[in-house]
Amino acid sequence: MKVIIGADKVNVQAKDDLVKDLKSEGYEILDVSKEGQDFVDVAVAVARETLKETDNGQDKSETAPRGIVIDTWGSDAFMAANKLKYVICANVSDEHSARMTRRHNGALMITLGTAVVGPELLKNCAKAYLEAPFDAGRHMVRIDMVNKMA
Amino acid sequence: MGKTVISIGNDHIVTDIKERISEHLKEEGYEVIDNGTYDKLRTHYPIYGKKTAEKVVSGEAKFGVCLCGTGVGISSSASKVPGARVALVRDVSEAEYARKALNANVVAVGGHITGVDLIAAIVDKFITTEYEKTPEHDAWIKKIDALEGPKPEQTGNDHFFDEFEQKWEEGYYHD
């Protein structure tokens, strides 16, 4: 599975550590981080690339690419990413939410804040999200509604 | 001076939790607009995320509070309302940051993730924390606002989701 990943300028180390872990587990990584990026820049960069790779989020298969953003709070990159049409982004700080947001919301991407989650929890949230399937079924009506919105 | 108005919304799996938070806010002296849902009948979070955030953007309420299971569904829906700045959080510190740095106007919490007492503390902190106006904070907000386009057919339209509700009724969506 391809993982599109990015960090803002102050969280590069946490992102590099996660990239190393995910690579060792066989994930293909596309790092869209650029020097000097703030949380809005990186949220938008990961969102746009993940939209492109998934036919505007329609591909929710088990192997479909997914996005991960690491910044300081998670909630700020979340705020920016969800402004984009077809983006369903989750700010997570526990493994259960990370898994359920893929299963029920078909989340295109997640955000993780280093001020909120420590290194082990960050890694485990990322893995819980990447390993989870999308349940489709009744959940599709809500996703269709969200996708009609601006 | 009138009471500060809080707009609140939820999906069917956390209605009881919404009621606890709503009662708490009223006890604290706030006026609450409860956008539903009002019972446990299966429904769809975008309806309530949209209503809750629109009340804030229109000025009817000062802040919004959104609840669903993980908080993700209703908060991503609320985020699509032009002018809404939504923070999905699990802790008080995140809520405080979102107010101070991003002038967030809607807070979302997972009703199945975070306990009622902590949700109440998060909401309390959110609605009592002032935005700290700095050039950096203003610039971030401007950058976030620039990501959204106007959506006149969406705003205030109670029939915006009718096509999907009809398909739902007809059994188009099933597990």
**What ipTM was estimated for this complex?**
0.96
Q: Are A63 and A34 in contact (CB under 8 A)?
A: no
How far off is chain A from B161, nearest CA to CA, in Å? Answer: 6
| B70-91 exposure pattern, b = at least 16 Cβ within 10 A, e = fewer | bbbbbbbbbbbbbebbbbbbbb
Percent of chain A with pLDDT over 90: 99
CA angle (A94 as vertex; B77, A15 as ends), nearest 5: 90
pLDDT along chain A (150 residues), means of 10: 97 98 98 96 98 97 97 97 98 98 97 98 98 95 95
Predicted confidence (pLDDT) per residue in B105-160, tens digit: 999 999 999 999 999 999 999 999 999 999 999 999 999 999 997 788 999 999 99
CA B21 – CA B92 distance, rounded (Å) = 15
**Cβ neighbours around B110 below 10 Å, total:** 28
Global pTM reads: 0.97
- Residues of A in Cβ contact (< 8 Å) with B72: 88, 90, 97, 100-101, 104-105, 107
How far off is chain B from A93, nearest CA to CA, in Å? Answer: 7
At residue B13, does pLDDT exceed 70? yes
Looking at this protein, which amino acid is placed at residue A137? G
Predicted confidence (pLDDT) per residue in B14-72, tens digit: 999 999 999 999 999 999 999 999 999 999 999 999 999 999 999 999 999 999 999 99
At residue B10, does pLDDT exceed 70? yes
Looking at this protein, which amino acid is placed at residue A146? V
Q: Are A88 and A105 in contact (CB under 8 A)?
A: yes
Q: What is the pLDDT confidence band of residue B1, given thresholds at 50, 70 and 90?
A: low
- Concatenated DSSP letters of A62-103: TT--EEEEEESSSHHHHHHHTTSTT--EEE-SSHHHHHHHHH
Could you give the C-alpha distances from B63 to A27, B52, B100, in angstroms and in order? 41, 9, 14
Question: For the sheet containing B106-110, what is the strand order?
Answer: B31-34, B5-10, B63-68, B106-110, B86-88
Per-window interface: A 8-27 vs B, CB < 8 A = none
pLDDT value for A10: 95
**Cβ neighbours around A84 below 10 Å, total:** 19
How far off is chain A from B1, nearest CA to CA, in Å? Answer: 32
How far off is chain B from A5, nearest CA to CA, in Å? Answer: 20
CA A76 – CA A65 distance, rounded (Å) = 22
Q: Does A46 touch chain B (CB under 8 A)?
A: no
pLDDT value for B147: 96
Contact between A44 and B147 using a beta-carbon 8 Å cutoff: yes
Residue A82 CB contacts under 8 Å (≥ 6 apart), including other chains: A88, A89, B75, B76, B79, B80, B86
Predicted confidence (pLDDT) per residue in A26-67, tens digit: 999 999 999 999 999 999 999 999 999 999 999 999 999 999
Q: Which of A75, A145, A150 sits opposite B151 (nearest CB)?
A: A150
pLDDT value for B141: 97
Q: Does B151 touch chain A (CB under 8 A)?
A: yes
The number of C-beta contacts closer than 8 angstroms across A and B is 147
Could you give the C-alpha distances from A8 to A32, A75, A81, in angstroms and in order? 10, 13, 14
CA B130 – CA A100 distance, rounded (Å) = 33
Contact between B161 and A138 using a beta-carbon 8 Å cutoff: no
pLDDT value for A69: 98
- Residues of B in Cβ contact (< 8 Å) with A107: 72
CA A132 – CA A84 distance, rounded (Å) = 23
Contact between B173 and A141 using a beta-carbon 8 Å cutoff: yes
